[in-house]
Chain A
Amino acid sequence: MSYLGVPLRVAIGSGIITTIANSSTSGAGYLARGLANLRVGYSLAIATILGSIVGVIININIPTKILYIVFGVVLAIAPLPGIISSKDQIFVVRHTNQDPISMKLGLRGSYYDENKKARIEYVGSRYPLSFLSMMGAGIISGLLGIGAGAFKVLSMDYVMGLPFKVSTATSSFMIGLTATSGGIQYLILGYADPLLVSLLVPGVILGSYVSSRILNKLASKTLRYIFTVVVWLLAIEMIWRGL
């Protein structure tokens, strides 16, 4: 949008509103199919919203170039364990011992994997660590005005030990919550353009509706490779911004 002459802040504000449309469409679809976990999404959204508030404060007060490089390098390295591991971990309940907070929050669930033709049960654990990593995702979101979904997926996948499809679907559902927090501010400040939003929203809704129907049919490994490419592109963009 900024390449088309739209002021950067208006582009970010309008982009955040379309992110809500994207998340509401795909998130609702994932919830209906049992792929997104409402409890995981809501309990971790507390961290991302807090992080996004911190991100905005950082953005205003300190030079962000070093942060861009640090986060970019972290993003580039983070997906490597998933690629190196040759085993398809989808049938494995990766963390059977839940911490007390995860247990109290009821962070567990199951879904039917259309690719494997099997019901997968899973348990979410290490909530405190996941909360901290989600704050990092929120900070990125506040700094750059993006959903930072890649960070959220990494946190749920590696830290909390959720299946990759559940992490992806829950991340998509959660992004709407973080975006709403920013979207309200951008709307109050007049950094969202109604005409621009109305041009973008129908296309975004159509795209997210289609993608939410495809996700469960894909093999987790294929999904992970697609995800890794997206993460690396994001890492390059962040390092580029920092240089």
Chain B
Amino acid sequence: MSNPGLAERAVYNILKLSVIASLVVIAIGVVWMFYHLHIQGFPTDKWLTFNGTRISDFVHMISRMDPRGILGLSAIILILGVVLAIVSVLITSLRMRDNSLAIVSTILLILLLISTSIGLVIKSRG
């Protein structure tokens, strides 16, 4: 069996980085939001309602200089952090020839792909 400390260290670093990155993005988004609101006046009812935003809308929001697009990136960064942590464990375990951990992390990645597919299927059905 390989040294489990390597995989744990990789996961620790990636998760820590994703949390810091999401906080930085939130800080930038909040500053941008206040600047945006300062120019355009007080928030409208549209701004103050929490009706959810699709992942595909974040890009359009950013292109429209809407700060909520930047704020939405923080959620994507957090999810990417978890996914990258699994990928890093897979790579580490393959390099260390730790088959059991490699199989487990591969199954986890497949399950996340299935989960994403289910979401896309539900979305396509409206």
Q: Which residues of A contact B104 (CB under 8 A)?
A: 39, 42-43, 46, 105
B16: nearest chain-A partner, CB-CB: A28
List A residues 191-222 near B (Cβ within 8 Å).
191-198, 201-202, 205
**A189 CB–B CB distance under 8 Å:** yes
User: Which of B29, B74, B101, B119 meets A42, CB within 8 Å?
Assistant: B101
Given contacts A42-B89, A106-B1, contact A17 B116 (CB under 8 A): no
Given contacts A28-B12, A46-B104, A205-B19, contact A185 B81 (CB under 8 A): no
The count of chain A contact residues (Cβ–Cβ below 8 Å) is: 54
Give Cα A201 to B20, complex, Å. 11
**B65 CB–A CB distance under 8 Å:** no
List B residues 49-79 near A (Cβ within 8 Å).
50-55, 57-58, 68-69, 71-72, 74-76, 78-79
**A25 CB–B CB distance under 8 Å:** yes
Give Cα A194 to B116, complex, Å. 19
Give Cα A180 to B116, complex, Å. 10
Name which of A1, A43, A193, A194 has the most chain B CB atoms within 10 A of its CB: A194
Chain B 20-51, CB within 8 Å of chain A: the 1/0 string?
Answer: 00110010011000000000000000010011
Q: Are B118 and A53 interface neighbours, CB within 8 A?
A: yes
Name which of B1, B19, B111, B118 has the most chain A CB atoms within 10 A of its CB: B19
Q: Which residues of B contact A181 (CB under 8 A)?
A: 111-112, 115
Q: Are B53 and A20 interface neighbours, CB within 8 A?
A: no
Q: Which residues of A contact B8 (CB under 8 A)?
A: 31-32, 38
Q: Are A49 and B54 interface neighbours, CB within 8 A?
A: no
Q: Are B75 and A183 interface neighbours, CB within 8 A?
A: yes
**A84 CB–B CB distance under 8 Å:** no
Q: Are B71 and A106 interface neighbours, CB within 8 A?
A: no
User: Which of A39, A177, A192, A205 meets B75, CB within 8 Å?
Assistant: A192
Ordered by A's residue number, 10 sampled pairs between the chains whose C-beta atoms are within 8 Å are: A13-B52, A32-B8, A38-B11, A106-B4, A177-B108, A180-B83, A180-B112, A193-B50, A197-B72, A201-B22
